[in-house]
Structure 1
Amino acid sequence: MTSKDLRITDESTTLVDRVEEKLLDYFRENKLMPGDSLPNEVELAKALGVARTVLREALSRLKMMGLVKSRTKVGMTLAEPDILGGMKRVMDPRIMSKNHLLDILNLRVIIEIGMSPFVFMNKTEKDIEELEQIVDRERVLRDNQLSVEEESKFHFKLYEMTGNDTIIQLNQIFAPVFGYIKDHFSKILDDYTKTTPDQQRPSHKDLVNILKDGTADQFQKAMRKHLELYFHLLHKEYQKGDG
């Protein structure tokens, strides 16, 4: 690596931003893979033509993303980034706008309906037994609604059945938002359940029965109806605009 490789010329952003981008370019251009060693700080700072304090700030950003790791006697190496790690750290519904919360709920609904065929395809007898046990332990609270904890147990299991680690992680990240929404918008959800006949809202038990004896298409349609109260909430709140 020479100074010609990394010398910074763009001055449209902050110096730390430019150093960070130049390092990412270097990783890509040299086709570095997770586990590959990186030059030490002295070499990098010299090649970039910047002070080590600036370089360290740029490297700290990459370390926070999980893209760079430092180990004693090994030095810095490239790592596979934890794509969802940063999202998990900031997923606090108390500091999010209403529309941001609704967008996350919308995304979760889209994922759950979209993953239904994979849940059906991957189901095993053990999965069905576990879902039945979850349903048997459920306690219905007000207006035929389940607690957040009871609701989550069932849906967590469905996510697990996809076999997709990224989707499973997303569900864990979204969990605090889902609980907050159920509490914050409880009146809208309660009003919907009061005015909608039970037969129009498939229960968890109904979903398990379809998984056992129905088809993938029937299961996906039932999931769509099961989540209808959230479509109702999203429609009403999006109409109001940001709050």
Structure 2
Amino acid sequence: MFTKVDGPVRLADRVAAMLADEIESGRLTTGDKLPTEVELVKQLGVSRTVIREAVSRLSSAGLVEARQGRGVFVLPPRTRPLDLDADTTDTKAKVLQIVEVRRAMEGEAAELAATRATPADHTRMRQALAAIDAAVAAGGDGADEDLAFHRSIAESTGNTVMVSTLRYLGEVSRGGIRVTRANEARRDDFYDAVREEHDSILTAIEQGNPKAARTAARRHLEHAATRLQKAGPEFWNTTQDLDVDLDTAE
């Protein structure tokens, strides 16, 4: 069904794009089950980790759904109400606009999570934070893991509409997060600040303090915007070399 994927750069992105093309072309339709992880490893010639990351991205994009004990299934086609090509094509302006939208949405999610998250949810969030550090230590940018942390907060609210909206927004903002994290990776003080901000959000959620959780989440995005504003032209001139796409949500 699939041909092998090779090349040293971002295999998970290439596998996700290949699978997404199968779905959006109609070769895989609503309700179809994806090949198993083992089958995909054999067909594509990549590791299980790459397959898991690729499927996670499809799930975040709302293309597939993992059903415990049954496999991964194709979801009905989504509507795409956002026109991301409008208004501006300037990378800096668009990334900052994404941060503004995230600030509003994720502040609400954190507030709800503080009143609804279970101890099991708290554990998943802590694991998501640890995954960011592990990804960075392994030489990655931690963008996907960053998205997973914020997604885990939304999921703990039990609000399926919010989860779906933030999942879509997460795919829209993946490139923006990659740019943001590339900026933060340039300076140890930036990176340390992000870790502290993430921990403050989760601590407030764990303590069941909605106001503090909302404030911490909004402050995190406000500081992210400030850090981006501090980046000079030399940084923004390099963003064209990053693996980002700010104009499409696939």
**Normalising by structure 1, what TM-score?**
0.48
Higher relative contact order (CA 8 A, sep 6+): 2
Structure number with greater Rg is 1
Give the number of the structure whose residues are more often helix, by fraction. 1
- What TM-score, normalized by structure 2, do the two folds share? 0.47
